[in-house]
Amino acid sequence: MMPSGGSIKAAVAGRIEEERPPEPAGVEEPNGSPLAFPVHVMTGAAGYFAEVMGSYMEPPPHFFFMAYLTCLGSLLAGRVTLRSELRPEPRLYTIILGDSADDRKSTAISKTIDFFLAVVTAFFACLGVGSAEGLQRRLSKNASLLLVYDEFKAFVSKSRVDGSVLLPCVTTLFEANRYESHTKDREVSLSGVHLSMLAASTVDTYERTWDSQFTDIGLNNRLFLVPGAGTRRFAIPGRVPQSEWDTLRREVGNILRVSSTMPELDVTPDARALYESWYLNLEQSIHTKRLDTYALRFMVLLAANACRPEVDEETVSAVIDLMNWQLQARRLHDPIDADSAVAKVEEKIRRVLTVGPKSDRDLKRAVHYNRIGTWVYSNAVRNLTRCGEIRFDKATRTWGLR
């Protein structure tokens, strides 16, 4: 049987210690950072996969962990849910973020997808579509589908094509299982489908590739961001032993067998109380939108991943830690350059300062700070400062144009 919980690291280390390539001295996972991934949640089959792959390849282990859960969620969509009127599906729209090629984002995605394609005949992935019509044709063959983009920018570019309904289609299918769009010349009609997404992007591209049509429709808050940094460790990575691949295959089989007997998962009273406390105290901001939706989906995913018969307190605690981490990731990598509200305030600030320097108080009054809110104002000022358009004079304590 697969080890679970905190024992998984010791189990993996014991099994592959002799065969693992030597790890260069000084290579460590960053600790203490507000974006350090909560590694204690990496348990069950996905955690085992992440540990094994992370021991032989350079992407951060949590890239493999989240890619595995995304593939698993696509596989279990429509098969397992919570005992709730909401009936959440464990489908994810995951974006793996890295600063450079050294982070090996695409490697983590391709190795994970290859594994599922080789192990599960009912797992289907599509390596990109250019239109809603193309997506419709693909979903007509496989109702449960993982949409994969080696570069997320490709999806954004296709969504900007005049007359394309790819963006509203994919956005709608995050929570719904049907979508329709009828025009004189085109028709898209989908029903009973289960779409997931797994893509890679550099941080800079992700933050700057958007425009208001994406933020206005709400695609951003439907994405689960997975930032991380890889380290060069293996010039020529070793081969994962066949015994490890065999174990990983068996664990997928275990998950599918257990899940087939438990299509609805109960939430224990203690787990429910813990989640309600977090939910009721969750801050209200642009960054927390649909975090609760993802929390319910990860309850299903993490319970199934560990072959648990119900969602217990340990599972909910891990989900909450994961959601709090996601909140920090969204704050750090928010695509503020594309936010229409921020852009409007930026222009207001430019116009106000054109007539002369203003104190912080006067500037806030001029742009109606009390109406637009702290978040929008702060990001507008930050953007203009970063771009060198405005500066704060400490001597006179005023804002002015450069």
The answer to which of 11-15, 167-171, 227-231, 385-389 has the lowest mean pLDDT is 11-15
Residue 122 half-sphere exposure, CB side, CA atoms within 13 Å?
13
Mean pLDDT of 217-239: 83
Residue 34 burial (CB count, 10 A)? 9
- For the segment(s) 339-401, the CATH number from 1.20.81, 2.120.10, 1.10.10, 1.10.1740 is 1.10.10
Topology, domain 7-20+33-332: Rossmann fold (3.40.50)
| 132-141, 153-162, 335-344: which is most confident | 132-141
| Interval 186-218: pLDDT, tens | 889 999 999 999 999 988 778 766 767 777 788
Give the rounded percent of residues in the chain with a pLDDT score beyond 70.
87
Q: State residue 162's pLDDT score.
A: 81
| H or E, element range at 107 | helix 105-119
Q: State residue 144's pLDDT score.
A: 95
DSSP one-letter string for 224-271: EEEE-------SS--PPPHHHHHHHHHHHHHHHHHHHH-SEEEE-HHH
CA distance 348 to 342: 10
DSSP one-letter string for 127-190: ---SSHHHHHHHHHH-SEEEEEESSHHHHHHHHTSTT--HHHHHHHTTT-SEEEEE-SS-EEEE
Mean pLDDT of 106-115: 92
Position with higher pLDDT, 229 vs 198:
198
Q: SS in 3 state form for 65-103?
A: HHHHHHHHHHHHCCCCEECCCCCCCCCCEEEEEECCHHH
Position with higher pLDDT, 324 vs 14:
324
In DSSP terms, 189 is beta-bridged to: 180
User: Are 146 and 71 contacting, i.e. CB atoms less than 8 angstroms apart?
Assistant: yes
Position with higher pLDDT, 129 vs 213:
129
Q: State residue 331's pLDDT score.
A: 81
Q: State residue 22's pLDDT score.
A: 39
Query: Residue 219 — very low, low, confident or very high, per pLDDT cuts 50/70/90?
Result: confident
Tokens of 250: 């068996």
Q: State residue 355's pLDDT score.
A: 77
Q: Where are the domains of the chain?
A: 7-20+33-332, 339-401
User: Are 186 and 169 contacting, i.e. CB atoms less than 8 angstroms apart?
Assistant: no
pTM of structure: 0.77
| 4-18, 70-84, 151-165: which is most confident | 70-84
Query: Residue 14 — very low, low, confident or very high, per pLDDT cuts 50/70/90?
Result: very low
Tokens of 368: 């109606």
CA distance 107 to 111: 6
Position with higher pLDDT, 99 vs 56:
56
Q: State residue 126's pLDDT score.
A: 94
Mean pLDDT of 254-259: 94
The candidate with the shortest Cα–Cα distance to 373, out of 364, 383, 386, 384, is: 364
Query: Residue 369 — very low, low, confident or very high, per pLDDT cuts 50/70/90?
Result: confident
Q: State residue 23's pLDDT score.
A: 38
Q: What is the mean pLDDT of the chain?
A: 85
Please give the torsion angle defined by the CA atoms of residues 153, 158, 162 and 166, in that order, rounded to the nearest 10 degrees: -110
Helix/strand/coil percentages in the chain, nearest 5: 55, 15, 35
User: Are 37 and 97 contacting, i.e. CB atoms less than 8 angstroms apart?
Assistant: no
Residue 263 burial (CB count, 10 A)? 12
Q: State residue 102's pLDDT score.
A: 54
Q: State residue 117's pLDDT score.
A: 95
| Interval 280-311: pLDDT, tens | 999 888 888 999 999 999 999 999 999 999 99
